[in-house]
């Protein structure tokens, strides 16, 4: 079997919706974008959603709207995608790197201990589709009067206590990159919030700072969304909950087959959380050799992420006071992402697991 790490969903309806958007001759921030924002807000459980050209762009605009300034600090885990910290640096603030817990999400004890007079906000990451410790993060934010942004780039539709991620914090930030649970066949992102004033500032900033076509109230950017991608996203959103359930079903098959394998550590789920498994990440012995073995059998794998952000050359060249994060630094040598997507079959999971078993027997 040839089994890819992920697979994008596309059908004839989506193709026809793309052609309809082309035929509309209205390509940027039109009716499709407006409808997609409304539908995303409703699905998440918030009042406002603002689309932008990427997650990175959306969060950059948000930090500008919040008037984050040089010297401000934002607490965030080091174990996440590098784009998650770029907006902090672009506005002149400083990311303060934290370790993770057994769910691969931020260590909230360390988060609370790291708050200083320079701290203005928190950026917990719902990594691999698993919600961070939301109640604790909220308590820290409330105690110290901090804003907090949920990084939902990998967690579309995940819930904590039955409430979707992106609706707990002051803001949620989503990505629509092609591998994500909800994609638009290209780059894209959004901010979700109940803060009407912040949402309006982001809308203006993404579109050259204009409130109407010829009046610019601020100096903004061209970081807009387009109608074709919105049409795709609207169709993908209709299937999101169903596809997330399929991912969880595939994870159940993995757990059945790998649970007795001593060399494989399965992901942990926090009580009250319903993860959506953007990635199915295990910790394994002899990781690189196993990945090579699986590749030879046409099984796709990945490492998310091999270099933590506090050890990236771009960061070590900027800051000298970088922390030791022992949990993160140990797990990056052991983690391996196995194939996961809504169309994965039980036979495919069985094949992957049998090959892992063969590797360790040998």
Using DSSP bridges, classify how beta strands 119-122 and 147-151 pair: parallel, antiparallel or unpaired: parallel
Query: Given this structure, which CATH class describes domain 240-361?
Result: alpha beta
Same CATH topology for 12-234 and 240-361: the answer is no
Q: What is the pLDDT of residues 61-120, one digit of tens each?
A: 999 999 999 999 999 999 999 999 999 999 999 999 999 999 999 999 999 999 999 999
**0.85 surpassed by pTM:** yes
Query: Mean pLDDT across the stretch 141-151?
Result: 98
Q: Where are the alpha helices (DSSP H) in the chain?
A: 12-24, 31-44, 55-65, 86-90, 108-113, 134-144, 196-206, 227-258, 287-296, 313-316, 326-331, 346-361
Q: Where are the domains of the chain?
A: 12-234, 240-361
Res 211 pLDDT > 90: no
CA distance 240 to 243: 5
CA distance 54 to 155: 15
Question: What is the structure's pLDDT at 1?
Answer: 80
Question: What is the structure's pLDDT at 212?
Answer: 87
Indicate the pLDDT class of residue 137, thresholds 50, 70 and 90. very high
Query: Mean pLDDT across the stretch 168-196?
Result: 98
Q: Tell me the fold of 12-234.
A: 3.40.640
Q: Mean pLDDT of all residues in the chain?
A: 97
């Amino acid at each position: 079997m040839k089994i890819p790490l992920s697979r994008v969903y596309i059908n004839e309806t989506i193709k026809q919706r793309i052609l309809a958007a082309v035929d509309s001759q209205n390509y940027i921030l039109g009716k499709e974008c407006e409808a997609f924002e409304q539908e995303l807000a409703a699905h998440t459980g918030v009042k406002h959603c603002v689309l932008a050209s990427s997650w990175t762009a959306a969060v950059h605009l948000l930090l500008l709207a919040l008037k984050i300034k040089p010297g401000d600090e934002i607490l965030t885990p080091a174990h996440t995608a590098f784009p998650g910290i770029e907006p902090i640096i672009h506005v002149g603030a400083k990311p303060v790197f934290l370790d993770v817990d057994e769910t691969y999400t931020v260590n909230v004890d360390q988060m609370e201990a790291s708050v200083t007079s320079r701290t203005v906000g928190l950026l917990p990451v719902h990594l691999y589709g698993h919600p961070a410790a939301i109640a604790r993060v909220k308590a820290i934010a409330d105690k110290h009067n901090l804003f907090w942004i949920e990084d939902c780039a990998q967690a579309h539709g995940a819930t904590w206590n039955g409430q979707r991620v992106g609706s707990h914090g002051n803001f949620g930030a989503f990505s629509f990159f092609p591998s994500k649970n909800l994609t638009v066949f290209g780059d894209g992102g959004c901010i979700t919030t109940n803060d009407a004033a912040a949402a309006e500032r982001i809308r203006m900033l993404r579109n050259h700072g204009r409130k109407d076509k010829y009046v610019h109230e601020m100096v903004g950017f061209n970081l807009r969304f387009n109608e074709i991608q919105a049409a795709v996203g609207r169709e993908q959103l209709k299937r999101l909950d169903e596809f997330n359930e399929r991912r969880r079903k595939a994870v159940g098959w993995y757990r059945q087959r790998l649970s007795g394998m001593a060399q494989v550590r399965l992901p942990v789920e926090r009580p009250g959380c319903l993860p959506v498994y953007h990635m199915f990440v295990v910790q394994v012995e002899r990781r690189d050799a196993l990945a090579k073995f699986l590749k030879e059998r046409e099984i796709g794998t990945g490492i998310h992420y091999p270099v933590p952000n506090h050890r990236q050359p771009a960061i070590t060249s900027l800051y000298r006071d970088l922390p030791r994060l022992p949990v993160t630094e140990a797990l990056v040598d052991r983690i391996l992402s196995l194939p996961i997507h809504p169309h994965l079959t039980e036979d495919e999971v069985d094949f992957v697991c049998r090959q892992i078993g063969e590797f360790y027997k040998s």
